[in-house]
A and B are shown apart, each in its own frame.
Chain A
Amino acid sequence: MITTDVVDTIIFRALEALNAERDPEDQIAVSSATSLFGVDAALDSLEFVSLITDVEASLNLDHGLEISLADDRAMARPQSPYATVETLRDYILEIAEET
């Protein structure tokens, strides 16, 4: 079973990969509260796509979890699971438990 710490690490690593492409003075904060999606998002739209696909790839390759993070359920939620690192992590844990 995948843990909170493991999922946090996966998301943080994906954010760090994005930071590697950014200027030093324009780094994304790497924390549970980092806003990923919406008006306050720290990521632009392409970075958000990269983050989600990086996290999906890591879950698949490193943990054998074939999870789609952009499924109908995620889209239909009144509170977006992509809002922050914490909400994304909780969503991943929730669907990982079902697989």
Chain B
Amino acid sequence: MRTAPKYQGMVVVVTGARKGLGRILADHFLDEGARVVGMSRGEASITHARYEHHAVDVGDDGAVRALFAKLARSHGTVEVVVNNAAVATSIHAMLMPASRAEEMVRTNFLGGFYVSREAAKLMRKGKFGRIINIGSMMATLEPIGASVYAATKAASMTLTAVLAKEFAGYGITVNTLALTALETDMLDQLPREKVDEVVAGLPIPRLATPDDIFNVVDFFASPQSSYITAQTVFLGGVHS
């Protein structure tokens, strides 16, 4: 017998929802009954009665503010936010173009901050919120070529810890799921032999699956996880 959908009646925001993990998560939340608000720089790739898409760059503070002002009018609140939007450039630091470095800081770090800040303003009224940041094993494995990307993910973990304190009084939890490699187009942006080398060195040497990710996301998002905040869960046996 199928159990009741986990996210029935909830509004879930997923950034970077057009493709890759964001798309996978948006589909998961839809399957579990949520009304999903997807954000990405590109147009929608999902058509569903409970899905709405907004072509917004999370690194654009004004655009993020405007979107959440709109969501306040249309939905009143949001219950869950997954800060997934990210870009990656893997290249030796001496060769890293400033534009790529700045884009990673803006999207991977500031984007998560802007979205969390605006979401928390809506969540606090309902005294309930779940903010889930998608981190990376890169933050702790610190591989060559990932200088800025790894740093943005490490910064995101620190951001998680501070926001968890600031938002705790409003019933909002903030946690990070630090991924190992998942078979998505993000992986295609990195040298495959490097990825294979990193995966081979993991305590559980395989790629992550969507179910590995849903397991932790559902745990963080659960109403029963009200006493779980400021945490980072690494997949695959990676640890800080």
Q: What residues of chain A have their CB less than 8 Å away from a CB belonging to chain B? A: 46, 50, 53, 56-57, 60-61, 66, 68
Q: In the complex the two chains form, is A50's CB within 8 Å of B72's CB?
A: no
Q: In the complex the two chains form, is A53's CB within 8 Å of B121's CB?
A: yes
- Tell me if B28 counts as interface (CB < 8 A to partner A): no
Interface of A is mostly: helix
- Tell me if B69 counts as interface (CB < 8 A to partner A): yes
Shortest Cβ distance from A11 into chain B, in angstroms? 17
- Counting contact residues on chain B (CB < 8 A from A), the size range is under 10
Q: In the complex the two chains form, is B169's CB within 8 Å of A60's CB?
A: no
- Tell me if B19 counts as interface (CB < 8 A to partner A): no
- Tell me if B66 counts as interface (CB < 8 A to partner A): yes
Q: Which residue of A53, A56, A60 contacts B124 across the interface (Cβ within 8 Å)?
A: A53
Q: Which residues of chain B are within 8 angstroms of A60 by Cβ–Cβ distance?
A: 69, 72-73
Known pairs A56-B121, A66-B66, A66-B69. 14 more at Cβ < 8 A?
A: A46-B169, A50-B124, A53-B121, A53-B124, A57-B72, A57-B121, A57-B125, A60-B69, A60-B72, A60-B73, A61-B72, A61-B73, A66-B65, A68-B65
Interface of B is mostly: helix
Shortest Cβ distance from B101 into chain A, in angstroms? 23
Shortest Cβ distance from A47 into chain B, in angstroms? 11
Shortest Cβ distance from B171 into chain A, in angstroms? 13
Q: Which residues of chain A are within 8 angstroms of B125 by Cβ–Cβ distance?
A: 57
Q: Which residues of chain B are within 8 angstroms of A61 by Cβ–Cβ distance?
A: 72-73
Shortest Cβ distance from A64 into chain B, in angstroms? 9
Chain B CB within 10 Å, residue with most, of A46, A56, A66: A66
Shortest Cβ distance from A73 into chain B, in angstroms? 14
